[in-house]
Amino acid sequence: MAKKKRLRIAAVKTIPNVTHAGAQLKGRWPSIFHNEHPITLELGCGKGDYTLALAQKHPQRNFIGVDLKGARLWVAANKALDLELKNVFYIRANALDLAEIFEANDIAEVWIPFPDPYPKKPRKRMTAPRYLDIYKKICRPGAMFHLKTDDDVFYLFSIESLQQYGCTIHQNSTDVHSCPEVDDNVRITTFYESKHIATGLLIKYIEFTLPEENMV
């Protein structure tokens, strides 16, 4: 592991807008943000491209980015501090642990930009049923999900998985940047997304809500 990366992993533990112990903040999110604005969650936030862009566009919402990579969170958290964004927070955690970090109805919206497609491990994909079960435990009824991917197999898997689970798909596109109907927020382009586009890859997008029956 490069020295720079090791230093960032160590340093991220000291940044005030990051926690490694999200479960300790369960039920306390209004006090963390000092308001009760709706929370938007970004899963696999990486260096925080979406969290940061959305937070600047929507100051009356709170944004939480979740990722396992400490070095990436170091970049995201420091950018948020540099921009003086009070409505941004980051958690180093696995998405499978979200129900230990958030209570029912805590989350009003979810972004999942370019998750790992796990070509040989479908159950680890973030639109697999075990993840959808977790999202139901923390999201408000009607919470909107936004999924972006450059991977054809993951996109088709997600369509099938969401339909079988009973989700409502409101929009889906195999080339979102050529789709005039999508919201401007969807057109936010991450660092890696720009690289994908430059190589000729098309960006797929799915907007969906979870089935509201049996929401925890």
Task: Count other C-beta atoms under 10 Å from residue 43's C-beta.
Answer: 22
Are 203 and 209 within 8 A, CB to CB? no
For residues 182-191, one letter each, b for 16 or more C-beta atoms within 10 angstroms of the residue's C-beta and e for the rest, the string is beeebebbbe
Where do we find the tokens 């195999």?
A: 174
Are 89 and 52 within 8 A, CB to CB? no
Where do we find the tokens 């925080």?
A: 48
What are 133's two structure tokens?
Answer: 């079960």
Instruction: Measure the CA–CA gap between 20 and 132, rounded to whole angstroms.
Output: 23
Instruction: Measure the CA–CA gap between 64 and 37, rounded to whole angstroms.
Output: 12
Instruction: Measure the CA–CA gap between 135 and 102, rounded to whole angstroms.
Output: 10
State residue 139 phi and psi, 5-degree precision. -95, 150
Are 104 and 81 within 8 A, CB to CB? no
Half-sphere exposure of 214 (CA within 13 A, CB side): 8
Active site residues: 116
